Amino acid sequence: MGVVRRWLAGCRPLLAVSAPIAGIQLAQVALTTTDLAMLGGMSVRAIAAGGLALTLYNQVRTMCVGTVTAVGNLVASTAGRGEARTGGDQLDERARGEVRDLVRASFLVATAVGLGAALILIGLGYVLAWFGQDPEVLALARPTMLALAPGLIPMLWLNVLRQFAVGMRRPGSLLWVTIGSVGVNILLDGGFGYGWFGFPELGAPGIGLATTIVQFVNCFAFLLILRRDEHLAPLLSAGFGRGELPAVREILRLGIPISLTYGSEAGITSVATVLMGGFGPATLAAQSVVNQLAYIVYQVNIGLSQGSSILISRAVSQRDRAAVTRTARQALTLSATAMTAAGLLYLAVPGWVLGLFLERNPPPEVLALAHTLLFFGIAQQYVKGAQNVCVGLLRGLGNTKSGFRATLLGYWLIGTPVMVLCGFALDLRGPGIWLGLCVGFGATAVLLLRKFSRELAGVPALAAVPSGT
């Protein structure tokens, strides 16, 4: 026990940065999780349509988040240089100005990307007609996607605020925001989805509308938290001028490869969902439930990925190879530990966790398939989590491009063919699709880990600095 306590104590800096990030991620996922649970009380067709809409929403949302993810690294590096110039924990005026420029540029990028993404999400509802989806499911999914689309803009504003705060190593407390947003979302889901409190009963589209409203609430709640921080409030600025254009270009230079990496990752899941939809509403309903369970746990890995990335960026600027290696090992170990804990829970009470998202007496074929897919979901958590952490480790070294190249090979040249082969050629159907997902994520994790090891060993800037210099 003493060894474990000492190891956890050593992980404290990583946990201090990663936990708030995971908290915001879980707040976001809590919205779609409660949405799916509320949809499950309507009908199999409603959960199939809502699950399809939420999967594509998460696909677009994930790519959008990628465009501003590097903001945390840029802020951390700028703050680190400013602290080095002052010889303490305070920023000099030059660094403060650069951070303000980054914040203004980030809000501009977030707004523009959010508007474009909202239009893309709405358009996807009509493109899906070409992929053999059930017409009645699509008829219900389209207005749901329309209601979800506007929420992408405040969601991105929230991520800008998150990256800024984490980069400054003052992430703030989000516990009450997370709990509050879940409660508000449940009430609004009931109001707009089921007609509670005299609200208009909109069904599945009402669930999407509720989520959009809560996205705005979350954003402004977190903004109020940061405004009360005397260190961060002076650095927050939403104006924009020509002086921020270099910062916009730098955010996009780093963010576009990250967005493509995240999009590729979410894309293979979206492809799997579309392929599962070809087997009928029952298969799509089971897919939606298990995918959401895996997605909840995955947020821990996102927190570890981004937290380790921030710490590695600072360690690189200080030429501390030992800190980089230590942070990488801690992130991967914590990820595997969390995935094991979640997997044990799913194995211990599978009926209970699946029952959170299914109607009281679901069709036997839906329940049976969901039980089977849950085993694949547990396996997927390990490999998907490992590859996401490795993407963060590489980003900390300043490499945002290798992740995208690795996903092209692992997901699309390996994983997707295995999905098609096992799902259709071998007639394994749903389980075959998930087997292909596991293979794709596993191959990508191996490629990224090898790349990180090579880059860490080959970067001269990480050579140890003699003491006293």
Name the percent of the chain lying above pLDDT 70: 92
pLDDT for 339: 94
Q: Which of 30, 73, 18, 54 is nearest to 300 (CA)?
A: 18
Question: Is residue 112 within 8 Å of residue 139, measured between CB atoms?
Answer: no
pLDDT for 399: 85
463: in domain: no
The CA-based angle 105-264-22, given to 5 degrees, is: 60
pLDDT for 416: 92
- Render the burial of 192-211: b for 16+ CB within 10 Å, e for the rest: bbbeeeebeebbbbbbbbbb
pLDDT for 243: 67
* End-to-end Cα separation, the chain, in angstroms: 38
465: in domain: no
The one-letter code for the residue type at 124 is L
308: in domain: yes
362: in domain: yes
467: in domain: no
Distance separating alpha carbons of residues 336 and 342, to the nearest angstrom: 10
Distance separating alpha carbons of residues 30 and 34, to the nearest angstrom: 6
pLDDT for 430: 85
Distance separating alpha carbons of residues 69 and 309, to the nearest angstrom: 10
468: in domain: no
SS3 172: coil
Quickly list H helices, 87-134.
93-127
Distance separating alpha carbons of residues 80 and 65, to the nearest angstrom: 24
Distance separating alpha carbons of residues 248 and 108, to the nearest angstrom: 8
pTM of the model: 0.74
Low-confidence ranges of the chain (pLDDT < 70): 1-2, 28, 88, 129, 131-134, 171-176, 178, 240-243, 318, 359-360, 458-469
- Count: domains in the chain: 1
Using one digit for the tens of pLDDT, what is the confidence trace for 267-287? 788 788 888 877 877 888 888
366: in domain: yes
CA distances to 1, 167, 225, 233 from 228, in Å: 39, 17, 5, 7
Domain range for 109: 2-457
The CA-based angle 203-208-211, given to 5 degrees, is: 130
Distance separating alpha carbons of residues 437 and 310, to the nearest angstrom: 29
pLDDT for 466: 39
pLDDT for 152: 95
255: in domain: yes
